Amino acid sequence: MSTSAAASTTPMPPTTPMPPGFALRHRVRGFTLIELVFAIVVISLGLAGILEVYTTVVKSSADPIVTKQMQTVAEEMLEELTIKPYATTTVTPSGCARNNFTSIWNYNNYSTSNQICDAFGNVIASLNGYSLSVSVVTDTTTLAAANVTSGNAAKITVTVSYGAKSLSLITWRTNYAS
């Protein structure tokens, strides 16, 4: 007899019987319906949260640009205004042109509505919708501690607005030349 025949006649050790369906349960791989529904709910909640954050960021992403443009317009107007002499001369504005303004007082009550113009009155098309107003008033109280005499100080307020947003810059100018 060969060795292979001897091996096949050797009795097998006794095994415990497997419960019915045991082999079938362990051979099937995948997810149950409850696991799939739970995974869908968790993923959906996560995506909803991410989309909410994304929507908020996208809605407010233009706000800094509008604020920066308002600030730039106000700063440029303040610079233009503060390099003018303090002298009290009166010039009647012509439309939105400011090239004939000779002192800071000419800018008092200067305003534009839904447009920004350069000093020569040319409308800057990329700033349509922005409005500008300037106020120049005598200020005797703020700079009194610095011994600035009455009538020699002006409070300058430049306000730029776009829709419901508004930005004001304030500075003081003294009559240092006299």
Q: What is the pLDDT of residues 64-119, one digit of tens each?
A: 888 899 999 999 999 998 888 887 777 776 678 888 888 888 898 899 999 999 88
pLDDT of 79: 92
Per-residue pLDDT, 133: 93
Query: Pick the residue with more confidence: 88 or 54?
Result: 54
Q: How far apart are CA 85 and CA 99, in angstroms?
A: 14
Q: Are 98 and 110 in contact (CB under 8 A)?
A: yes
pLDDT attached to residue 70:
93
Of 130, 131, 154, 134, the C-alpha closest to 142 is 154
The pLDDT value given to residue 18: 62
Structure tokens at 88: 């009290």
Residue 162 has pLDDT above 80, yes or no: yes
pTM, to two decimals: 0.62
pLDDT value at position 74?
94
Residue 157 binned pLDDT confidence (cut-offs 50, 70, 90): very high
Asked whether 107 and 101 are in contact (CB, 8 A), the reply is yes
Lookup: tokens for 40: 């869908």
Instruction: Average the pLDDT over 110-131 and give the result.
Output: 91
Domain ranges for the chain: 33-60, 63-174
What pLDDT score does 175 carry?
80
Percent of the chain residues past pLDDT 90, beyond the cut: 36
- pLDDT of residue 23 exceeding 60, the answer is no
